[in-house]
Structure 1
């Protein structure tokens, strides 16, 4: 699977009191952990191998996610190098009853594919075969560079 759309993964986490700070919103570290896990899944789906986090290019926390809300994390590979996999991650606050969403966090992670011995290993070339895939790739590149 080397097409961008096949790397798209989303997951939800219900924000519980044990995830929260004294302001009753989720700790940024919990959001980053969830993003890292989902991003690694996209990277591994693309690479066909285990992947480890090599770099977090940026994390922009735009607004809080409160206890009782759902954190929706979306992830996909938008670019690949020889052994590196570049992943776009966005987190949304979601009201599970209404489906209303609001973006809370935006980030770009880089993973490195590794073989069974833990050494970097080549990844396939990323293809973009659909209009939706092209839209996602363009959005990631435009916002990352903008």
Structure 2
């Protein structure tokens, strides 16, 4: 079965949330777990747009919190499939906070997540390839294989010596 490749831009999801008291910690900042929950939803939606199938989270890369998002601020989450492999998709997620009173927008964090598409029986199924158009999409696409191989090594599914895309980083 040959699937028609799709443009990365066609998977774009933009999600907006308001930080309410129940979303914050004792410092009045958005709890990291709540943000990760919203990021997971946005990323899953991008993957479902891309593959037209249900998906499950396979992995979450490092999430660094650059700037806290305060109570009453707005959270903007943008997710887009950066590369599709056989049955899995890597998603690039960017998060900004916005102070709606001061009308100031700031970067909060960025991350990569991986999802697997499922067939009606709950088994993995093939997904369409990605066509990157912009320079940023091409850069994310080109570097995705290294990130994937690192994930597989850390997950015990690939031996380091078999990670061809990573060898250039470690060869002398």
Answer 1 or 2: which has greater helix percent: 2
Structure-1 separation of matches of 2:141 and 2:106 = 18
After TM superposition, the score normalised by the length of structure 1 is: 0.89
After TM superposition, which residue ranges in structure 1, 4 or more long, deviate above 4 angstroms?
Answer: 139-145
TM-score by length of 2: 0.76
Match 1:60 to one of 64, 68, 74: 64
Aligned length: 142
Match of 2:98 among 82, 91, 94: 94
Structure 2: runs of 5+ lacking an equivalent: 148-172
* Larger RCO of the pair (alpha carbons < 8 Å, separation 6+): 1
Deviation string 1:39-82 (CA, Å, 9 cap, x unpaired) is 00001101111110000011111110000000110100001110
1:1-146 aligned at under 5 Å gives the runs 2-97=6-101, 99-128=103-132, 130-131=133-134, 134-138=135-139
Shift of 1:97: 4.6
Matched residues in 2 for 1:12 and 1:71: separation?
6
- 1:14-57 deviation per Cα after TM superposition (whole angstroms, max 9, x unaligned): 00000000000010000000000000000110111111000001
Stretches of structure 1 that go unaligned for 5 or more consecutive residues are none
How big is the shift at 1:100? 2.6
> Aligned pair in 2 of structure 1 residues 19, 137: CA closer, same or farther (>3 Å)?
farther
